[in-house]
Amino acid sequence: MITLTKAARLRGELTVPGDKSVSHRSVMFGSIARGTTEITGFLQGADCLSTIGCFSAMGVEIENDGGRVIVHGRGLRGLRQPDRVLDCGNSGTTTRLISGILSGQNFCVTLTGDASIQKRPMKRIITPLRMMGADIVSINDNDCAPLRIQGKPLQGIHYQSPVASAQVKSALLLAGLYAEGETQVTEPALSRNHTELMLRYFGAEVDSRDATASIRPADELYGRKIHVPGDISSAAYFIAAGLLVPDAQLLIRNVGINPTRDGILRVCRMMGADLTLLNESHDSAEPVADLLVRSSSLKGCTIEGALIPTLIDELPVIAVMACFARGETLIRDAAELKVKESNRIRVMTENLTAMGADVTETDDGMIIRGGRPLHGASVPCHMDHRIAMSFAVAALAAEGETVIQDSECVNISYPGFFEELEKIR
């Protein structure tokens, strides 16, 4: 555990680690592409290392020197049956996306993960993958991992997804690479589109229109060079810290600002934050910018509807920001938060309340009445990396000492997070 105290000022420049979603996809797509994929800026977090472990176990040679990752792709039909159970660790992205790929192979695999993964809902991919002809079963018959997948010939489907989930969409698009005919996924609101952008970059025929993505079966994908942008979900903690600490100015370099991920920036604007985008450019298939953040006096706002999927992972830290804003912040349409690494609505409400905030849990979000001063507390993070980092930010703006329990879980997406925070104090 880690103990943090209030910060009087924050100053400096930093570069956050590579985007988690893009890092996973670069290894997955590189593995099933022909030729070499060279990845710089890869996130060396536990989740993305789980993805490397799974594809290595299926015969893909992956060199990782801690900086650059080189994937020697085996082509669309070159994966080998692993001689062990695939371990997806804590990673929902690994579990769900790999299931789409495995459904179209000609071998049988069992995959599982840690205690948290074995509780996360997999029915959302099992149902549509079965509609495509996949043979996929939840071994304990509880719609969770471990999953057994026997590769089968697949047919494309047009699927109306009940959830806006990039993991569901991506699982189906990846299965669609191996299917007969077109596969189409329509979501209630557009979720992150890294799969669509990167598969197109690798040579697949992918079409995107509003909240519908479609893919044609491919003969091959082709390895590419990828520079992974900084993760906006990791930058979010420093954006929030820069806004909340009184004498603060932070420059966060090279952050991915894909419009399907930039909801936090839109919320910052709604809340009246002093946040400027500099040096906007394009890197591989993704837009990036530097973010300049200064201390701000925030006001509450309503966060709902199509905005939710664009900031789903940032809602915990947005809830922290809302505690320091004038007036009420309403978060709704965010029931998905209940099935993340923890029940993030419950855990945020409990921990913020323990720090003195005025927060009400609702069925699909939270109501936060800002302006009450927060005080330190000892907060359990339920091994959820985004909870741990959100409370590190709350600690910087709260009176007294805050103890972040199970703080080591930040390694899932941000190894070195606490060291980076120390550097700018």
| Of 226, 192, 206, 202, residue with least CA distance to 29 | 202
- Which residue in the shown chain puts its C-beta closest to ligand S3P? 21
Residue 356's CB is within 10 A of a number of other CB atoms, namely 15
CA atoms of 97 and 170, how far apart (whole Å)? 6
Q: Examine residue 167 and tell whether it contacts ligand S3P (CB under 6 A).
A: yes
CA distance 80 to 392: 43
Of 50 and 295, the one with the shorter C-beta distance to ligand S3P is 50
Of 19, 47, 29, nearest to 100 (Cα)?
29
Distance in angstroms (rounded) separating the CA atoms of residues 264 and 16? 16
Q: Does 165 bind ligand S3P (CB under 6 A)?
A: yes
**Cβ 276 to ligand S3P shortest distance, Å:** 27
> Looking at 93, 295, 310, 329, which residue binds ligand S3P (CB under 6 A)?
93
Distance CA 37, CA 99 (A): 21
Nearer to ligand S3P, 125 or 275 (CB): 125
Query: Token digits for 135?
Result: 């043979």
Measured from the CB atom, the residue of 125 and 252 that comes closer to ligand S3P is: 125
Interaction pattern, residues 173-212, with ligand S3P; x per rule: CB under 6 A: ------------------xx--------------------
Scanning 147-155, 162-170, 292-300, 390-398 for contacts with ligand S3P by CB under 6 A, the matching segment is: 162-170
Closer residue to ligand S3P in complex, CB, 295/411 = 411
Q: What's the CA gap between 425 and 415, in Å, rounded?
A: 18
| CB closer to ligand S3P, 165 vs 284 | 165
Nearest to 254 by CA among 237, 233, 275, 279: 279
Q: CA-to-CA distance for 376 and 3, rounded, in angstroms?
A: 10
Q: Smallest distance from the beta carbon of 170 to ligand S3P, in angstroms?
A: 6
Q: Which one-letter DSSP state was computed for residue 63?
A: E
95: contact with ligand S3P by CB under 6 A: no
- Residue placing its CB nearer to ligand S3P in the complex, 74 or 192: 192
Span near ligand S3P by CB under 6 A; candidates 129-137, 164-172, 314-322, 362-370: 164-172
Active-site annotation holder among 262, 290, 313, 384? 313
CB of 354 to ligand S3P, least distance (A): 25
- Closest approach, Cβ 172 to ligand S3P, in A, equals 12
The answer to whether residue 313 is catalytic is yes
- Smallest separation, CB 339 to ligand S3P (Å): 8
Rounded to whole angstroms, the Cα distance separating 89 from 283 reads: 29
Query: Smallest distance, Å, CB 45 to ligand S3P?
Result: 11
Of 198 and 250, CB closest to ligand S3P: 198
Q: Are 111 and 85 in contact (CB under 8 A)?
A: yes
Does 312 sit near ligand S3P (CB under 6 A)?
yes
Other C-beta atoms lying within 10 Å of the C-beta of residue 69: 26
Does the footprint of ligand S3P cover residue 313 (CB under 6 A)?
A: yes
Return the range that interacts with ligand S3P (CB under 6 A); candidates 159-167, 199-207, 351-359, 368-376: 159-167
Q: Residue 17: phi, psi to the nearest 5?
A: -65, 165
Residue closer to ligand S3P (CB basis): 23 or 296: 23
Which residues lie below 8 Å from residue 120, measured CB to CB, with a gap of 6+?
A: 92, 95, 144, 145, 339
What sign does the CA torsion over 145, 366, 266, 256 have? negative
Residue 136 touching ligand S3P (CB under 6 A):
no
Among 2, 4, 16, 21, binds ligand S3P (CB under 6 A): 21
Residues touching ligand S3P, count (CB under 6 A): 11
- Which of 166, 171, 213, 264 is the binder for ligand S3P (CB under 6 A)? 166
Minimum Å gap between C-beta 401 and ligand S3P is: 30
Q: Least distance to ligand S3P from the beta carbon of 334, Å? A: 11
Give, in order, the Cα–Cα distances in Å from 74 to each of 14, 37, 172, 223.
36, 11, 21, 10
* CA torsion angle 210 47 31 159 (round to 10): -30
Cα–Cα nearest to 304, from 338, 346, 266: 266
Binding site for ligand S3P (CB under 6 A): 21, 93, 165-167, 170, 191-192, 312-313, 336
The residues assigned a catalytic role are 313
